[in-house]
Each structure stands twice: as C-alpha cells, then as structure tokens.
Amino acid sequence: MTTEIGGTPLLARLTRGLGFLALWLILMGPALTDLPIGLIAAAAATWTSTALWPENGKLSASGLVRFLIRFVPQSAVAGVDVARRAFAPRPALSPGFVTYRTSLPPGMARSASCAVMSLQPGKLPVAADADGTLHIHCLDLREPVAEQIAADEAAFCDTLQSGGVHG
C-alpha cells in the first residue's frame, strides 16, 4: 500500500492504531460498551505517536534485545543503589552536576535517551543545551560517571537502526 498521509503510509498508521487498541483492550478489558472510548483513545495515541515518532525512525530488533539485557539489570541496580544510600546511617552521597556532549540529535531520540538515563544508577539529566551538552545531576560524583554515561548512550544508539548519531 502506497497511500500516504502527512508522510506516514496508511498501513503503518493502521498497524500502530491496532497496537494502541490492543494495549487499551489489555488495560480496560474487552467490554463492548467501553470500545468507543478505546477507539478514540487509540486514534489519539496514533496521531500523537506519528507526530513524535515518524515512520522512518525504525528500531533494530537485535539492538533492542541487547539494550534490554543491559537496561533491566542496570535499572534494578539503580533501585538497590538508592535504597542502600537511603537506609545508610548517614546517606553516603556526593551530589553534583556533570556535563556530557551527546551525539544524539535533538528531538525524540535525545529525549528518550535522557528518560532511559534517568532510570540508570545515580544519574538524572536536567537540561540540554542547543549544542548537545547535557547537564546531568549525579548522586555520587566519586563514581566514574562519564564512562557510565558513554556506555549507556552507546547501548541506546544500538537500538536505532539509522544509528541516530549524526548530529
């Protein structure tokens, strides 16, 4: 099918819409009386997703698997790390800011990478300059933060099929 609306093929939009409708059905149950609301929600989600994430932004399945294998344990380590510091008689913290020059272009990819980083141990991106400099709040500046951020970003870039690193 080659019909295109606003740059996104109709078939791709339909697939996304069906995906969102499936998510609605999982969350709300298959009651027929709720279905009109589900259809409206799925349409709204599809419209939003096409604006935020154009069809050319493809993901690499193998990259995504490698990313998840790294992300899930790291996310657990982040929770345990915070818990350890919170339960310590004196919270062992050395908070402060670091800057890191990201290679991701502004937009969805950079925002998503920042959201992922905020779930990794000890890091929380707070601002991004126009030249790609990220300001990141760290719980403990004594740790090798810059190396961790570079490794996190490399794992994230691995999920983008186009690489997303030219910017």
Binding site for another protein (CB under 8 A): 23, 26-27, 75-76, 78-83, 85-87, 91, 93, 95, 114-116, 118-119, 121-122, 124-127, 135, 137, 139
- 109 or 114, CB closer to another protein? 114
Using alpha carbons only, give the angle 77, 163, 16 rounded to the nearest 5 degrees.
80
Nearer CB in complex with another protein: 10/83: 83
Q: What are phi and psi of 162, to 5 degrees?
A: -80, 0
Q: Which residues pair with 133 in a beta bridge?
A: 101
CB of 84 to another protein, least distance (A): 8
In the complex, minimum distance from the CB of residue 102 to another protein, in angstroms, rounded to a whole number: 14
Nearer to another protein, 23 or 150 (CB): 23
Contacts of 20 (CB under 8 A, 6+ apart): 41, 42, 45, 46, 49
